[in-house]
Chains A and B, each alone.
Chain A
């Protein structure tokens, strides 16, 4: 186990001379991982300035310091083959980097200056604002139907809530943000009280104290309210948001807010359900088996009980996306337009079946066994180990591995099936579809037209019998709850 090489230290805020909480994983590796998390993010964006937290973090990670222009920083970092990566979510802003211990002093001098003495140059703001706007307009809206569908879903689930806007903001807000706005956000949010410092690897002993002393120059601040956010307004009935764009397939995501997070009694039972119903990017989940393996409708189908962005690019979730309010979500990968109606019905049918039937004892035992071991793989890198330890501080739980293993050991099938019945439902949901020809699909959905499947190969009788039920599965959508938005209006 990693614990043999690395001692996990959780040091609380200590006196005037040291900054923040610290997660330290000293070890023998020549690689030193830095992961600094501020308990602030898009939930702290002022209502009229969505994107402020994100652009501020970009200016620190990809902009100059007071003494060095960004190009000079890039020059200095290039021979070390390193850079600073930033990630902004609702409650956490993360700055991470890895450097070889040979270069630790030189790299840390740059890292420290970028985070503590930002340069706030206009040319950096212009470049990073352009990048962010292109991130929304081109990378998300233009090039990635699946991520677009998911992000629209998240924004709808949290409509009117602090979590209700995209982390990058909106184009119109980004266009107005000034250097002064960013400096104000930095001053108020980048405080010692909000900071958790993560270090791992073969750094010298005295490095730890040096970092704490340096970051004690941040304002003391008061701890963020990031753990106590109200639940979003409940969804009444089924709501469908359709995004009209020129695309060859139909990307679908749907779900509802979930008031269960790590540390809550029903979290581990629901995690077992999630893994059984749709373990991310893995075959063997119920949705994957029935939609892709048995019928070949698409590339994969998965379920989630925590926010999981960029799922098409990664197999394990990124840490430090901890939130006070979570989501239940089903992700249906793009369907061919003629089978979209059926595919969506099949996912609803499977969710309904999950609630009615739950897991069998054999399914429960198998999934529990999987999660108990799989958790080791989630923390296989030092960055992930640091990230999970920091998330555990946020959720006030022991190390995630321990939390999960202890919880799974006590768990019964009944716990899982009761949690399913308590938290899952099919009546009040937000659905998002990204498609071409939304008007036509809308009509078919509202009319509840039968959507029979035609296959290119013989299918077993049980599939054909099930299809007869699924093809006529009633979806109680009302016209007033269906909206079509042209893609160019989304996140604008």
Chain B
């Protein structure tokens, strides 16, 4: 079958006005197949020639770290997945990768662990076979495990010079009391230092989560869906389904504003960070979509507050808001890096006044339309090669396990009205759900 060109598909997706539900936002025809063991395969033939990108998404991340003392374990386990099997010890795995000229890596976040490899199309079956082997037959000794735990400490060290991780640790720890979002994906330093002693737990972790029902394989690029499905059946079909479901604690409603301050031991610019408890990712209710658009209306480069604080008054050199997609309710966070400590209070007040404004005043349809265009073009511009397509898809697959969720959520964006924005502001920007973190460095 001739594939319609991406040009035609994207033109359809973008041509609809903000008021009319557009064609599907995810422009590629894809196939989604569920194997009897619970594994899901999504193949996305693109019109970028020759290259194939394979993303294997496991729906476990730091959210699944439910036991005390085990923070950072999902990420640590991502490291262990590169420690080989009997058939493919690390040297042989690397040999195959080198011969294929492939690039490969992995990452972990709150809700997912993703393993990704990009290579020439002729190597697809080799890669699917080798990946199937490590997902089913991972094998490592306690000595190797202890050594890898030190590499995780090295990863912590390389990030620790920046205040960002500290802010994230404090913000989460304060905003959440029971839910596992209360710790970062990297985990607490004391838990990282204890990782070498957790060999037995690591075996249990693999047994719980590295199972077909937690896993989605994305194959994007110069591929044939039917042939890919047959390869997946051959190499992944015998994988045994598991039984475990993590008891993720539910976070109670926040009962009042919370605040903390970090004294950073080196010179740095002050940060003022304000967060509100927000909703979970949703592709069928308007709340989260409205908050997403509100984050642009209030804090993007063309917002009145950005213009005032960054361009005109020049009191702030970084301002951004983030309503990051999460499986469970998370946070709407505003970050401001302030040039002078004496301006911190005023900047925070202006942020709060801006948010309060959205509760009182309806945004103009024209401004809302600009944001809707922005998010649609931004999505389209991001998909400039097969790896980017697979990567974008991976973040959504961890939430709803299908590319269709992209179409649904962008449909929701197109339906958001000024009243929806006001309703979301009134629902979420409440004092009792607010957490504030400030950080200042030592003076030079």
Which residues of A does B touch, CB under 8 Å?
A: 1-2, 4-5, 28-31, 33, 70-71, 74-75, 78-83, 98-103, 123, 126-127, 130-131, 134, 137-138, 142-146, 202, 245-249, 251, 281-284, 292-300, 312, 315-316, 333-336, 366-367, 369-377, 380-383, 455-459, 488
| Interchain CB contact under 8 A, A82 and B51 | no
Quote the shortest CB–CB distance from A26 to chain B (angstroms): 12
B374 interface residue per 8 A CB criterion: yes
A294, B151: Cα distance in complex, Å: 10
| Interchain CB contact under 8 A, A299 and B385 | no
| Interchain CB contact under 8 A, B90 and A100 | no
Quote the shortest CB–CB distance from A412 to chain B (angstroms): 19
Interface string of B301-327 (1 = CB under 8 A from A): 110000100111010010000000000
Interface string of B81-121 (1 = CB under 8 A from A): 01000000010001101111111110000000000001110
- The residue of chain A having its C-beta at the shortest distance from the C-beta of B122 within the complex is A373
Stretch of B59-67, B261-269, B425-433 lying at the A interface: B261-269
| Interchain CB contact under 8 A, B384 and A312 | no
- The residue of chain B having its C-beta at the shortest distance from the C-beta of A69 within the complex is B311
| Interchain CB contact under 8 A, A30 and B10 | yes
- The residue of chain B having its C-beta at the shortest distance from the C-beta of A339 within the complex is B150
B143 interface residue per 8 A CB criterion: yes
A488, B443: Cα distance in complex, Å: 11
Other-chain residue from B51, B102, B158, B267 in contact with A333 (beta carbon distance below 8 A):
B158
Q: Which of B131-159 contact A (CB under 8 A)?
A: 142-151, 153-155, 157-158
Known A143-B161, A283-B90, A458-B143; judge A299-B311 contact (CB<8 A). no
Which residues of B does A touch, CB under 8 Å?
A: 5-7, 10-11, 14-15, 47-51, 82, 90, 94-95, 97-105, 118-120, 142-151, 153-155, 157-158, 160-164, 196, 265-269, 300-302, 307, 310-312, 314, 317, 339, 369-370, 373-378, 380-381, 384-388, 441, 444
Query: Inside 8 A of B95's CB, which chain A residues have their CB?
Result: 366
Other-chain residue from A131, A312, A369, A375 in contact with B317 (beta carbon distance below 8 A):
A131
Other-chain residue from A28, A74, A299, A381 in contact with B155 (beta carbon distance below 8 A):
A299
Q: Which of B98, B102, B370, B375 counts the most chain A CB atoms within 10 A?
A: B98
Known A79-B370, A377-B51; judge A488-B103 contact (CB<8 A). no
Query: Inside 8 A of B97's CB, which chain A residues have their CB?
Result: 284, 370
Q: Which secondary structure dominates where chain B touches chain A?
A: helix
Quote the shortest CB–CB distance from A337 to chain B (angstroms): 10
Other-chain residue from A98, A142, A456 in contact with B268 (beta carbon distance below 8 A):
A142
| Interchain CB contact under 8 A, A334 and B158 | yes
| Interchain CB contact under 8 A, B381 and A98 | yes
| Interchain CB contact under 8 A, B301 and A78 | yes
Q: List 10 A-B contacts (CB under 8 A).
A: A78-B302, A80-B373, A98-B384, A130-B314, A247-B161, A249-B158, A297-B154, A299-B158, A333-B154, A374-B101
| Interchain CB contact under 8 A, B118 and A377 | yes
| Interchain CB contact under 8 A, B377 and A334 | no
- The residue of chain A having its C-beta at the shortest distance from the C-beta of B143 within the complex is A457
Query: Inside 8 A of A377's CB, which chain B residues have their CB?
Result: 51, 101-103, 118
Known A-B contacts: A1-B50, A70-B311, A82-B381. Give 5 more (CB < 8 A).
Answer: A131-B317, A138-B269, A335-B154, A373-B102, A381-B384
| Interchain CB contact under 8 A, A336 and B153 | yes
| Interchain CB contact under 8 A, B265 and A246 | yes
Query: Inside 8 A of A374's CB, which chain B residues have their CB?
Result: 101-103
Query: Inside 8 A of A100's CB, which chain B residues have their CB?
Result: 10, 14, 377, 380-381
| Interchain CB contact under 8 A, B147 and A74 | no
Query: Inside 8 A of B143's CB, which chain A residues have their CB?
Result: 457-459
| Interchain CB contact under 8 A, A31 and B380 | yes
| Interchain CB contact under 8 A, B154 and A298 | yes
